[in-house]
Amino acid sequence: GAVVSQHPSRVICKSGTSVKIECRSLDFQATTMFWYRQFPKQSLMLMATSNEGSKATYEQGVEKDKFLINHASLTLSTLTVTSAHPEDSSFYICSALVQETQYFGPGTRLLVL
């Protein structure tokens, strides 16, 4: 299957700072990528759909000004958590769409102190 990477794998930051998470498709080009969030003992929740060269589409309840998504190339999408707070601590996972199938990255664990 297609390989998707994320960087960093884990990050700890202070409250009020911003954190950028990168999602890369390693062996294919992805016009569409997705960002999910998963809290402990819960399932994945879709945050937004990222399309190369256009604005991301956010799910209801997800603040677009807080979670900035940039999909500037066909192999890279970034999620920036701005002014992070402890409640933003979570497991952030991206996926890339290849034909009919989404392939997921390994996830980024964010801890905001």
Partner 1 sequence: DAKTTQPTSMDCAEGRAANLPCNHSTISGNEYVYWYRQIHSQGPQYIIHGLKNNETNEMASLIITEDRKSSTLILPHATLRDTAVYYCIVSSTGTASKLTFGTGTRLQVTL
In the complex, the residues that contact partner 1 under the rule CB under 8 A are: 1, 4, 6, 32, 34, 36, 43-46, 49, 51, 91, 93, 95, 97, 99-107, 109
In terms of DSSP bridges, do strands 108-112 and 10-13 run parallel, antiparallel, or are they unpaired? parallel
Distance of CA 77 to the CA centre of its chain: 8
Closest approach of Cβ 92 to partner 1, in Å? 10
Closest approach of Cβ 97 to partner 1, in Å? 6
Closest approach of Cβ 40 to partner 1, in Å? 10
- Tell me 41's DSSP state: T
Q: What gap in Å lies between CA 6 and CA 15, rounded to an integer?
A: 22
